[in-house]
Amino acid sequence: MSDPKNPNQINIELNEETAQGIYSNLAVITHSSSEFVIDFVRIMPGIPKAQVKSRIILTPEHTKRLVAALQDNIAKY
C-alpha cells in the first residue's frame, strides 16, 4: 500500500511463514563498535540445551531507534 504523495514510503511484505513468528524467552545481546547482535533463544524447562531461533544484526543507530520504539510501546502497554 504505497502512497504516491510520499516517495519515501516503503511497501513491506510479510510472507505466511514469517507471519507465524518465532517464540523466544531469552535474548542475548552482544556488540562491537559497528554493530549490535541480538540472538533470540528458546529455553525449555528441564532441558539443559537451548537453541538460537533467530539472529538480528543491527547498526548502532538502528539499535537506538529500536530501543526508543520498544520503550514507547512498553509505556503504552
3-state SS assignment for residue 68? helix
65 domain residue, yes or no = yes
User: How many domains, the chain?
Assistant: 1
71 domain residue, yes or no = yes
Prediction pTM value: 0.80
> Please, what is the average pLDDT of the chain?
94
User: Which tens digit of pLDDT belongs to each residue from 31-56?
Assistant: 999 999 999 999 999 999 999 999 99
14 domain residue, yes or no = no
CB environment 44-72: b (16+ within 10 A), e (fewer) = eeeeeeeeeeeeeebeeeebeeeeeeeee
Percent of the chain with pLDDT strictly greater than 90: 90
Band of residue 58 on the pLDDT scale cut at 50, 70, 90: very high
